[in-house]
Chain A
């Protein structure tokens, strides 16, 4: 069924079900009671503006950073670690600082708006930048050499070869980025600092307000349904067609049968194609001046020489790499400390006193460990169910048709919006004590983790080359042997990539999973996320403590990256299919 038809069908189904059940339950009354319901269309408009503004910034940043770091070896030596560190800092840690910083020189509503856009930016930027960087690095050597020999060097190489080549990773990175953006939308629109919260007009606010302040469940559900419908529509109208369109830009190093499905007509693809067809205009008005600019730089010996480096991992001795990371890490932490201090107008070094008043600081390793275990439990649960679900769904066409829309919707649902419902549900079963909150925290963590795993595993399953599957069948491999010997090894790289992203998502979710405010009550567990929230919501935020907390989280994430994920990823290289 065509995409638009599926979309309309699902939307109709949602609309009818909502209308029917709400009418039956008599909920419309409460929905209307919420004063913000009337402003919903305007709220939606504002949210979209915000997301688009943040995304525009992300595009500019990621293209510049990713391409430069991808092409030039010397900058990459420190640009890649820096990106790694920035990515490891939990987004929500920036909130109070960002607020005060931007409010410092942009008064009133504008300041809040800019802070919000900045937050969404930090949630989106790293995924896209990494994708672009690896896309640039993955351009095959022979293509590079051919381009060079045909005179495509420097900017022309970037324009004619690099930009098209990075379209597929750019699209996948953007899908992940928007997912991250939606996930944190509520936190980005209901900006909490100290004990006050400022509400920006947006869907996130509508949802958060309905749930946390008004306790108006029907209205919250209504908002959730509207929210999910919007995200789902965007996914179907923008990202799916773009992903499909971007397949023709994929690098094929081996003759493989890429089945180009008949692409459906789609507005967004038509728009992209229109831009590409105007390339002669772009050539004249952009390329010429840019080339002249670079020629001038070269004349004055200012341009960095473009050396087509071979595809090679950064082969630096371990001690060098370690020192680069340490220096950059300390630099970033120092910057954060300055950022927080100036935001809160608290002198940096005066904060030494607070080390004594905040004894919990010494508990940081313990708190980090508690959080780690919590994430581990959520991860194992997520891995188990996503493996089973992915294999079951990919094998059966019927199940695929039913489940993919459901998964799409699930991924589009902002976890923060689900929290209250989950909390109510869990607490009613397990009680409000430690067990109840732990269970709630783990379930909340799951929501931030599982979709990364699911989609990477499904992607890996779909990428198994046809001839390998045929050969396996021809040799009589069936059922359990087939799974054990073929499927599982083949999807190992996908599992690892998905796990890396899942853990990243989990650390970010910690901050909202471990410390839940609901109907005036605070439920929290022992963990580094809860501690960070406590610090940032206290009436007098302490920059040093916050920095130390964030620093600890970042170190743990970086350590995990190096000790576990990098090693696993290198081990999984041998499972990769050539040319895929």
Chain B
């Protein structure tokens, strides 16, 4: 796998989340889901947001996608406020795949292109390019009910990449898959991300698995339990290609540190003094 070399400080800021709050009104009580969340994502970065269930990370991602809006604060893409879902800015991959059951693989991938108004003549080449990329060539006529979970998610990824958005947003994309399939897909996603030919190279992913985050990301943003606050914004220094923590002590250290941070914020023990 190609090693991606870039200096964080010189790259452009694509996404800025600025002091975002989100409140919900639930059975006449106001519940705060997100509390003053701020961070930025630069071009070519792979950022993972981790946190326990219910900490608001899905809501945060949806605000980045433009599907929801903050109660206070701003979500800015290249300096402009995100006003609604725009597939050219960001495309999303869903935990439950969200494929249309009446369309086959080819037609599902075509959905985004139809929406952004790509001329019909250009569509086949784009769709076939991504079918090939995701190894779906033998299945382009198949319907979702005929596909396994892993394949469905490949279709989801192809669909998102086909519109060639600036950012790719992923909502726990592998949590509905078995461990082996998830491992393969993770590697495939990283390959796509680090490939200079891919037009989309800013990836934001949510997960509740810390090892997954450390495996995939340049930076891990850790959210606390509800109301979600940013506990840490860590630059993952482990060199790529990364192997899992059973073999790499640095990897293990990083995972461990993040786990301690989360448990500290939930009322656990105090972490080691060298927390950044």
Residues of A within 8 A of B (CB): 255-256, 262, 465, 467-468, 470-477, 481, 485-486, 489, 574-578
Contact = CB atoms under 8 A, between A and B. Distances in A.
Nearest to B107: A485
B143 A474 contact: no
Interface string B100-127: 1110000000011011100000000000
Given A255-B96, A467-B97, 16 more contacts: A468-B98, A470-B67, A470-B92, A470-B94, A471-B94, A473-B85, A474-B66, A474-B92, A475-B85, A475-B91, A475-B159, A476-B85, A476-B87, A485-B114, A489-B102, A578-B101
A256 B96 CA distance: 9
Contacts of B94: 467, 470-471
B205 to A, nearest CB: 15
Binding site secondary structure of chain B: loop
A471 B115 contact: no
Contacts of B92: 470-471, 474
12 contacts: A256-B96, A262-B27, A467-B95, A470-B67, A471-B98, A473-B67, A474-B66, A474-B87, A474-B91, A475-B85, A477-B111, A481-B115
Contacts of A486: 100
A467 B91 contact: no
B163 interface: yes
B111 A485 contact: yes
A575 B87 contact: no
A470 B98 contact: yes
Contacts of B67: 470, 473-474
A485 B115 CA distance: 10
Contact of B163 (A465, A467, A475): A475
A577 B176 CA distance: 17
Nearest to A481: B115
Contacts of A489: 100, 102
A574 B112 contact: no
Interface size class for chain B? 20 to 34
Nearest to B143: A574
B203 to A, nearest CB: 16
Contacts of B163: 475
B112 A577 contact: no
A470 B102 CA distance: 17
A474 B101 contact: no
A467 B87 contact: no
Nearest to A262: B27
B149 to A, nearest CB: 11
B112 A475 contact: yes
Contacts of B66: 474
Contact of B98 (A467, A477, A485): A467
A262 B28 CA distance: 13
B228 interface: no
A72 B105 CA distance: 38
A476 B165 CA distance: 12
B98 to A, nearest CB: 4
Contacts of B96: 255-256, 465, 467
A476 B115 contact: yes
B111 A475 contact: yes
Given A474-B91, A475-B87, A475-B112, A575 B101 contact: yes
Nearest to B88: A476
What are the 5 closest A-B residue pairs judged by CB atoms, nearest first?
A: A471-B98, A467-B98, A476-B115, A476-B87, A575-B102
